[in-house]
Amino acid sequence: MAAVEPLDIDHLRHLSGIKWSRYGPDVLPAWVADMDIAPPPVVVEVLQQLVSRGDFGYNRQALLQLPDAFARWQSDRHRWVIDPADVRVFCDVLHAIDTALWLLTGPGDGVVLFTPIYPPFLNALSTTGRRLIDVPLDPDGWRLDPDRLAAAIDDSTRAILLCNPHNPTGRVFDESELAAIARVAEEHDLLILSDEVWADLVHPGATHRPMGTISPEAAARTLTISAASKAFNLAGLRCAVAHVGHAGLAARLAELPAHLLGAVGTPGAEATLAAWTAGAPWLEAVRGHLTERRDQLARRLAADLPAVGFVPPEATYLAWLDLRPYGLGDNPAEILLDKASVALSAGPDFGVHGLGHARFNFATSAIILDQLVDRLAAALA
Ligand SMILES: Cc1ncc(COP(=O)(O)O)c(C=O)c1O
């Protein structure tokens, strides 16, 4: 198995990405979802080759292979068999989500979100003028309540925007929860947008089920969006794919002017192709590292911050922390940036159920993770 290289602090402080550059040198960042891990050597190699050849001309070689590579990756890893002809490349995950909402729903239409939720989903609704149908997950384990979902649907609800595995809670929804979503979607003729960008970072004991595998009926009303960005730490390269199972959406996409949706650049396409064709051994090593860090965080919280509410995530490298017992107000991340010099993601950005919470990114080295918890524990003592 390939070695995982968590980067040391000097290296990290010289990166230009927002995670390490937004705050001053006294702050330890555990906010935006980038990993403090060197990217896969197979990806670095293809990018270095492009640079050393000066190979920056018009180039569709990698781009044209992505649908096949994604189909093979899904079938090998998630037992989801798809036709590459139904896969389209987008510039990023939200590009596909905004496009689908724009094409198949109208202003004021309701869109279900399972909250708390990844903040850009809330932005996608507000910026497209769609209405939030808020279906909170059950805080005791973050399960989805099918009755709550069914009761929330109204006459102008048109879509369900699912994040599975779920950011920020790390839940991997099981077959019964996904079947409940499919049932409600069928009953009310809803579009399902299934963001599965975290599917490859599942911890032992949980299994990701693509929405498209639940039933042929569910598959036929679903757009599944994915990318190599999270699992392979490539977010700055901007490349995503979407499987268009919904025939109506496929038809609307086909009607669009050829260049309206833009195009992915060569580095993003080459990197994604390398990840999905040769990145599996690296990914396995990273998953092992992330599970160790998750367990380290759980041990440290239990020992040093026992009042924090925390359900160990089944997937992702994100921990959703309930800090209400510490009386830090609605936005503990703001207080902890000041008092602990730790940058977390602000809970209220994840919707009203995020008040008093913060999201902690534990994709770092064992040493930095200990330092992060030490700082939080000292500030909250
Ligand atoms: C649920 C979810 N969807 C989409 C994204 C964005 O992915 P990308 O930057 O590859 O578009 C993220 C990033 O953290 C995410 O957590």
Q: What is the pLDDT of residue 363?
A: 98
Q: What is the pTM of this model?
A: 0.98
Q: Do 298 and 237 lie in a common domain?
A: no
Structure tokens at 184: 């409600």
Confirm or reject: Cβ of 227 under 6 Å from ligand 1. Answer: yes
What are the CA-CA distances from residue 177 to residues 142, 170, 199, 275, 310 (Å)?
A: 11, 15, 16, 30, 22
**pLDDT > 90 in the chain, percent:** 98
Q: What is the pLDDT of residue 5?
A: 76
Q: Report the amino acid identity of residue 70.
A: F
Distance 228 CA to ligand 1 centre (A): 10
Atom of ligand 1 nearest to the CA of 166: 1
**Per-residue pLDDT reduced to its tens digit, 55-64:** 999 999 999 9
Atom of ligand 1 nearest to the CA of 229: 10
Q: What is the pLDDT of residue 3?
A: 63
Interhelix angle for 41-53 vs 266-278, to 10°? 140
Q: What is the pLDDT of residue 29?
A: 98
Q: What is the pLDDT of residue 2?
A: 55
> Residue 173: inside a domain, yes or no?
yes
Q: What's the domain count of the chain?
A: 2
Residues 95, 212, 194, CA angle at the centre, nearest 5°? 30
Q: What is the pLDDT of residue 304?
A: 98
Nearest residue to 33 (alpha-carbon basis) of 47, 44, 12, 17: 17
Boundary residue ending a domain (278, 301, 336): 278
Whole domain around residue 119: which residue ranges?
48-278
Split at pLDDT 50, 70, 90, the class of 102 is very high
Boundary residue ending a domain (278, 305, 330): 278
> Residue 325: inside a domain, yes or no?
yes
Split at pLDDT 50, 70, 90, the class of 116 is very high
- Tally of helices (H runs) and strands (E runs) in the chain: 14, 12
Distance 381 CA to ligand 1 centre (A): 34
Q: Do 325 and 226 lie in a common domain?
A: no
Which whole number is the average pLDDT over 331-359?
98
**Per-residue pLDDT reduced to its tens digit, 303-321:** 999 999 999 999 999 999 9
Distance 195 CA to ligand 1 centre (A): 8
Q: Report the amino acid identity of residue 250.
A: A
**Cα distance between residue 7 and residue 3, in whole Å:** 12
H or E, element range at 342 = strand 342-343
**Per-residue pLDDT reduced to its tens digit, 257-308:** 989 999 999 999 999 999 999 999 999 999 999 999 999 999 999 999 999 9
Q: Do 268 and 298 lie in a common domain?
A: no
> Residue 200: inside a domain, yes or no?
yes
Q: What is the pLDDT of residue 4?
A: 83
180 Rama sector, left if φ>0, alpha if ψ -120 to 50, beta otherwise: alpha
Place of tokens 């991997």: 172
Residue 1 in this model has a pLDDT that exceeds 70: no
Q: Sheet holding 345-346: strands in order across?
A: 318-322, 357-361, 345-346
**Per-residue pLDDT reduced to its tens digit, 164-178:** 999 999 999 999 999
Confirm or reject: Cβ of 195 under 6 Å from ligand 1. Answer: yes
Confirm or reject: Cβ of 34 under 6 Å from ligand 1. Answer: no
Confirm or reject: Cβ of 167 under 6 Å from ligand 1. Answer: yes
Distance 13 CA to ligand 1 centre (A): 23
Q: Do 321 and 212 lie in a common domain?
A: no
Q: Do 31 and 70 lie in a common domain?
A: no
Distance 93 CA to ligand 1 centre (A): 6
